[in-house]
Amino acid sequence: MNNIIAIWQESSNAFPVISPDISEDEKSVVIQLISDCIKEEGGDISRKAKVVHLAMIYINLNNSGKEKFLKILAHDFDVDILSLDKIIHNLQKAKTDEQKIKSELILRDALIPPRILFLRQLITLPNGFIFLKDMRCDLLPMIKSAPRLRKLSDDIKMLLMTYFDVNLLDLKEVTWDSPASMLEKLMEYEAVHEIGSWKELKHRLFTDHRVFAFFHNRMSNDPLIFVEVALVKGMSNNIQKLIDVNVKSGDPYEADTAIFYSISSTQKGLEGISFGNFLIKRVVKRITAEFENIKTFATLSPIPLFRHWLSNHVKCGGNCFLKSDEEKNIIKISKNKNATHGLLEILNFENWHENNEIAEKIKLPLMRLCAHYLFNVKRNDDPLRALDPVANFHLSNGAKIEHIHWMADISKRGMKQSAGIMLNYHYRLDKIAINHENYMTKGNLHASSTAKSWLE
């Protein structure tokens, strides 16, 4: 990279300067610069200098300028639809196999957006894959209502998948002796159960707790994804007890169960590239090798969309499967003559879970609804897949729903997302393959009779 930058700096007068927000007049200049890179004219050194120059332009843009740059890539360097129409017309007219094959090959090449060549040039620069990762991070917030930008995001993702292939990643245990910068990133990126202090972090790294992460060899102090594990006796049913710094640590060599209680991705630009399933499997092998006494592997997992789904379900007039005595109890507590709406109102009561009488009265209907949500509610775009993203992740990995737990997470986040309900996904090593196959091909999820009993 230093040689390339040096060459660019020596030739900097030959390249135009672009303002941080890319003015209207400068858009055509950027388009021409990208076109020159795609044409691959000139020698290798001069081509790389042009690519580096464009990368440096992008790095120095403000948010408005970056959005304009990305829109140029998305719109001005996409597939040429008019050319496609002509190629398809020629293919339809082709009579001989030779003519058809020729047209098919031309069509194949025409379906590749010109920007792909430029993106490949960027990614082959030293640390170019990190540059593209960060570029996609800038891009993701823009794609929701912009199909062309979403397509550009997918193009970048496909290139990044090669550089972040799971076989190229290193599994490492993060310990209290790891670099402080790495430990700070764990605290920053923890997405499931917040780490509020160094004392809490230390607790999650010591004795009967472990943290494992995937690293890329070019990002040695920056984890891509990490998983937190507790080595305990039996399946845990309460996250507060599991991570409480005041609870005495156990002896990991007396434990029989490994509980995966948090998985957090750290790189927004790698969103959609799956590491979690491979991480769990690698960690299982690591723990099995170190602790012969541990035979059970399970999670204590959140249900992040349960209350969101329930709210929409009630507003749309969905069945809440309330029994007559449950309806009476809810109406009495909420003062709402509509029991289903009353249930939502109770869930919005401040600290309702601290009132034992209220909690006991709504436990059965909520657990029944949660079981229905987990077992029966599917994605609109894929009726074989569970709507809940965490459920879909673990079920697609071959796990089984083992236990659904009441008041398992009474943090503000846990109450807001799932009314405090959590569950254990059980990874039975001898059943993972068949469970995965049944879920992916038929949508069949596996659950214990205990978990299914909440549907009754």
Residues 282 and 320 in one domain: no
Residues 145 and 175 in one domain: no
The CATH number of the domain where 44 resides is what? Answer: 1.20.140.90
Query: Which of 127, 146, 163 is a domain's end point?
Result: 163
pLDDT tens digit sequence for 327-356: 999 999 999 999 999 999 999 999 999 999
**Residue 96 belongs to some domain of the structure:** no
Q: Between residues 283 and 1, which one has the greater pLDDT?
A: 283
Mean pLDDT across 9-20:
66
Residues 159 and 178 in one domain: no
Residue 392: per-residue pLDDT: 95
Residues 152 and 259 in one domain: no
Contacts of 371 (CB under 8 A, 6+ apart): 404, 451, 452, 454, 455
Residues 346 and 400 in one domain: yes
Quick check: pTM over 0.75?
yes
Residues 257 and 315 in one domain: no
Residue 140: per-residue pLDDT: 95
Residue 196: per-residue pLDDT: 87
Q: Please list the active-site residues.
A: 301, 394
Q: Is residue 144 very low, low, confident or very high in pLDDT (cuts 50, 70, 90)?
A: confident
Residue 166: per-residue pLDDT: 84
Residues 403 and 365 in one domain: yes
pLDDT of residue 291 exceeding 80: yes
The CATH number of the domain where 340 resides is what? Answer: 3.40.630.150
Domain count of the chain? 3
Residues 318 and 222 in one domain: no
Residues 142 and 45 in one domain: yes
**Residue 108 belongs to some domain of the structure:** no
**Residue 98 belongs to some domain of the structure:** no
Q: Can you tell me the distance from the alpha carbon of 62 to that of 408, in angstroms, rounded to the nearest whole number?
A: 44
Q: Are 299 and 260 in contact, with CB atoms under 8 Å apart?
A: yes
Residue 2: per-residue pLDDT: 44
Task: Indicate the average pLDDT of the chain.
Answer: 91
pLDDT tens digit sequence for 30-78: 999 999 899 877 667 777 888 888 999 999 999 999 999 999 999 999 9
pLDDT tens digit sequence for 189-245: 987 898 989 999 999 998 899 999 999 988 888 899 999 999 999 999 999 999 999
Query: Which of 244, 269, 297 is a domain's end point?
Result: 297
pLDDT of residue 145 exceeding 90: no
Q: Between residues 146 and 7, which one has the greater pLDDT?
A: 146
Residues 287 and 400 in one domain: no
> Containing domain of residue 120, as a range?
2-78+113-163
**Residue 140 belongs to some domain of the structure:** yes
Q: Which residues pair with 232 in a beta bridge?
A: 257
pLDDT tens digit sequence for 234-265: 999 999 999 999 888 889 999 999 999 999 88
Q: Is residue 441 very low, low, confident or very high in pLDDT (cuts 50, 70, 90)?
A: very high
Mean pLDDT across 14-25:
85
Residues 133 and 6 in one domain: yes
Residues 156 and 176 in one domain: no
Residue 149: per-residue pLDDT: 96
Q: Can you tell me the distance from the alpha carbon of 9 to that of 102, in angstroms, rounded to the nearest whole number?
A: 44
**Residue 104 belongs to some domain of the structure:** no
**Residue 94 belongs to some domain of the structure:** no
Residue 14: per-residue pLDDT: 56
pLDDT tens digit sequence for 305-332: 999 999 999 999 999 999 999 999 999 9
Q: Which strand ranges, in their side-by-side order, compose the sheet holding 422-426?
A: 169-174, 209-216, 225-232, 257-265, 296-299, 422-426, 400-405
Tokens of 294: 């541990």
Q: Can you tell me the distance from the alpha carbon of 283 to that of 231, in angstroms, rounded to the nearest whole number?
A: 12
**Residue 123 belongs to some domain of the structure:** yes
The CATH number of the domain where 235 resides is what? Answer: 3.40.630.180
Cβ contacts of 20-27, under 8 Å, gap ≥ 24? 20/60, 20/61, 20/62, 20/65, 21/61, 21/62, 21/64, 21/65, 21/68, 22/61, 22/64, 22/65, 22/68, 22/69, 27/68, 27/72
Query: Which of 297, 332, 360 is a domain's end point?
Result: 297
**Residue 193 belongs to some domain of the structure:** yes
